[in-house]
Structure 1
């Protein structure tokens, strides 16, 4: 009796899945970038929009922190100064037709700086921007922290000229790079826009691809059993 030769497709799919799963940790690179935070309610939360699209209301607090992190949603640390609008904007009198936005700019630590660069100051900088009612956070930031630098994808690369080079690229040696501790009360959101300064998480896409392949393999096997 001749044995029916089994198709190699399931084995091929399994090989792809195992390859993707094995590669996922390597794809979760570490990034150095400007993270963007919203201080609504007196607590920092990772912004769900980028600074070029967010239009904060009068009395809002927005934060920027230059960080080293593997994943914006889970590991990026918020600015080291509390989001306190009254403390930041108390000396700026309200003006009709304008809104006041409190800004916290944290340049990070020397350990997080790029080679050959030093943060402009150790402690976070605070400023009160007085801008038009429809102004974005990026416009408010430009009022108090020029020069700003963006890349072609509208990702914020530098605040007050820091850093001088680079823009969110993955670090070459992640093992030797110090990463900030994850804050216990950070509420992060990985869905921030491309101009939000959040570092990408490539492992997520590999995981999705692996799940999709497993599902396809299961459907194929089910149909094969029916045709026997």
Structure 2
């Protein structure tokens, strides 16, 4: 009887255990601050960088901004924009575009290699306008979420992927906009309900065994 109850407990807790958190496949948006990438607190269609700023975009699968993968490769303003002279009435924005890895690609696409570009744009231009000047075509969804840079990926936009889907490993940092954070928390209500049911069964079995005596 005891072994049967233990087996029941194992079966219930295993079946009710929460699945691995799902992630989202999207372009994240970054600012370079004191030489380190920080997740941007504004979307590229709102942010207005200044002359000399460095911004990055990274395509990857991640659960939320805390585990989002950072852009890879060179990110020094002088190295990216050193050959672009400053001009009155315009600004220079260094951009790092990282198309991610094949593990994060949509539908088996082969991501292009990461690249950099120096965007010379009007002084009041947004980050999205700076990006459009060097990496068209861009694709957005109906909610103004950035879906594709330079046509990559061809399809999809911030879609949820299974928690079992391998994501990006290595450096870490949703969408240039904001994909919803995956839920996190303690054991599910189903786990507690299952354990309670097993406890009741055990009590009933013990009561019956005492009656037989």
TM-score, structure 1 normalization: 0.69
Q: Could you tell me which of 128, 147, 160 is aligned with 1:157?
A: 147
Using the alignment, how far apart are the partners of 2:79 and 2:171 within structure 1?
26
Match in the other structure for 1:37: 30
List structure 1 segments (4+ residues) > 6 angstroms apart after TM superposition: none
Q: Could you tell me which of 196, 206, 209 is aligned with 2:176?
A: 196
Match in the other structure for 2:82: 90
Residue 101 (1) aligns with residue 90 (2): no
Match in the other structure for 2:138: 148
Q: Could you tell me which of 147, 168, 174 is aligned with 1:179?
A: 168
* 1:156-214 Cα distance to aligned partner (Å, 9 max, x none): 0000000000001101x32132333353xx4xxxxx9xx7334311416x89xxxxxxx
Consecutive unaligned residues in structure 1, runs of 5 or more: 1-21, 187-191, 208-228
> 1:1-228 residue pairs with structure 2 within 5 A?
28-72=21-65, 74-121=66-113, 124-171=114-161, 173-183=162-172, 186=173, 196-203=176-183
Using the alignment, how far apart are the partners of 1:47 and 1:181 within structure 2?
20
Using the alignment, how far apart are the partners of 2:50 and 2:36 within structure 1?
16
Please identify, of 57-66 and 174-183, the stretch whose mean Cα deviation from structure 2 is larger.
174-183
Using the alignment, how far apart are the partners of 1:100 and 1:125 within structure 2?
17
Q: Is the 8 A contact 1:30 1:69 kept in 2?
A: yes
| Corresponding residue SS for 2:117 | strand
Using the alignment, how far apart are the partners of 2:73 and 2:86 within structure 1?
23
Q: Which has the higher strand share?
A: 2
Consecutive unaligned residues in structure 2, runs of 5 or more: 1-15, 187-213
Using the alignment, how far apart are the partners of 1:178 and 1:140 within structure 2?
29
Using the alignment, how far apart are the partners of 1:40 and 1:29 within structure 2?
29
Q: Is the 8 A contact 1:119 1:162 kept in 2?
A: yes
Question: Once the 2 structures are TM-superposed, how far is the Cα of residue 103 of structure 1 from its aligned partner?
Answer: 0.2
1:178/1:196 CA distance change after superposition, 3 Å: closer
* 1:104-132 Cα distance to aligned partner (Å, 9 max, x none): 000011121112311122xx110000001
Number of equivalences: 172
Using the alignment, how far apart are the partners of 1:144 and 1:133 within structure 2?
16
Q: Is the 8 A contact 2:21 2:183 kept in 1?
A: yes
TM-score, structure 2 normalization: 0.73
